[in-house]
Structure 1
Amino acid sequence: MSGEGGRCPPSFGLPPGYFDTKEGQDLLARVAGLRGDRLLIAVAGAPGSGKSTLAEALVGQLRDAVLVPMDGFHLDDSVLDARGLRQRKGAVETFDAEGFAVMVERLARPGREVIYPLFDRSRELAVAGAGVVGSDQRIVVFEGNYLLLDRAPWNRLRYDLTLFLDVPEDELERRLRGRWRGLGKGDAAVAAHLANDLENARVVGEGSRQADVVLRNS
């Protein structure tokens, strides 16, 4: 993984010892240089780009940091069924974008506890009140596909640092195919999930604002 034109092993995880590399150390130094009583960091990228792994690893390197995934704002399957969107689950229109935006705006104000939902993948549903950002936690790291989309309400949100993982589509396809096969999906289901994921990846790649830091993974 590397900023502006470098290379990294094609995997969902970080290269071993990533935060001991110059790039990893530079990223930590950039975070350390941020000033404020509450700092908001956004980690965005397409499905399969590795953003969840990076965000989790970054939080593990920081004091007083907490991870808040966007996935807790998935609309419930019953709502998706009513709207004819079940097959598009994961697309931008299948999230409570306004709800997520309000939470980010609340978290921008320091010194207060904020409760948020978490997505339970084993049950494929969001669980209300499952996550907590404590009043004393200074750094909030968000991760999600659509954090940098240049459309409302996403583009009204302001972060202190934004990261974007840029991965070629053929590599995303390889990873995502492996993900769905690993979950026991048959050929038809894999093909359907893959088509949906890659369509969402194109929305992310073509519609996101420029990030402060772009990590390229080929």
Structure 2
Amino acid sequence: MQEQVTTTAETLIQKAKTTFCTALLSEINHRIPGQVAFVPMDGFHFTRAQLDKFPDPVDAHHRRGAVDTFDGGAWYQLVRRLRELKSDETISVPGFNHAVKDPEEGKISIQGDKKIVLLEGNYLLLRKEPWADAASLFDERILVDTPREETIERLAKRNYAAGICPTYEETLARVLAVDLKNGDLIMSESLEPTIYIKTTNDTRYAYATEATQANDPVARQVPENDA
């Protein structure tokens, strides 16, 4: 049992952004029950079939997670729709299906009477179109920052555990070649946040977040849709 607890905690620590988002959703839902919704950017990955149509499909699949492998135009249209959503309306948004490793249409329902809609993803504050157009519609812009070297280690461990590459060495090489480049883009080309969060490696926080996921259906949507 302790081994399972330790493994779960380590997974959560490796995913600090997801951990923070989960805790934030839970706290809001605790204070104003039923008044917060969650929309992940991971539902806007181009599908594997769409990546097959890129000029270099092998490269596109290898770089999946880079900004050009997301449908930024569809994301912008969704954010506009959310701003216009009336209190008696409900819309469906895509989430991510881990079984097929592709977005799933209509996985999440958003009701127009929610007071807060929390949007989560890597490129939400990017200073380029159409991401910047979408960001201009946000009430707040939150940036969660993890130290660069710590990010490399966390991603390598997480991606290796997920089976993205057959060996840890290959996984680490991919992180350095692909994921780190994405992270550098985010940190250098993002709009100024209104709220800046510096993460810490706090095991107690990870345990608390695990309990949060178990008890809060809104907060559970974060790991369920994290690609």
Identify whether the pair has TM-score above 0.5, normalized to the shorter chain.
yes
User: What residue ranges of structure 1 are gaps of 5+ in the alignment?
Assistant: 1-10, 15-47
| Local SS of the residue matching 1:151 | coil
| 2:50 aligned partner, one-letter code | V
**Cα deviations by residue, 1:168-190 (Å, 9 ceiling, x for unpaired):** 21110011111122224413244
Residue matched to 2:196: 214
Q: CA deviation at 1:194?
A: 4.3
> Quick one: which amino acid aligns to residue 78 of structure 2?
M
Higher fraction of strand: 1
Q: How does 1:2-151 map to 2 (within 5 A)?
A: 13=12, 50-62=16-28, 63=32, 64-83=35-54, 84=56, 85-109=60-84, 110-111=86-87, 112-151=89-128
Aligned equivalents of 1:132, 1:99: Cα separation in 2? 17
Residue deviations 1:49-89 (CA, integer Å, cap 9, x gap):
62222222211112300111000000011111220211110
State the TM-score, normalized to the length of structure 2.
0.71
Conserved 8 A contact 1:55-1:67:
no
Q: Return the structure number with greater helix share.
A: 2
Root-mean-square deviation (CA), in Å? 1.9
Amino acid corresponding to residue 102 of structure 1 in structure 2:
Q
| Cα distance in 2, alignment partners of residues 213 and 81 from structure 1 | 38
What CA deviation, in whole Å up to 9, does each residue of 1:95-122 have, x standing for no partner? 1101011111111124231211011123
Q: Does residue 154 of structure 1 match 2:120?
A: no
- Matched pairs, number: 175
Residue identity in the other structure for 1:95 = F
Report the secondary structure of 1:118's partner residue. strand
C-alpha distance in 1, partners of 2:194/2:12?
21
Residue type at the aligned position of 1:161: E
State the one-letter code of the partner of 1:164: L
Q: Is the 8 A contact 1:13 1:54 kept in 2?
A: no
2:17, 2:24 → 1: CA distance?
10
Provide structure 2 residue ranges, at least 5 long, that are not aligned to the other structure. Answer: 1-9, 201-227
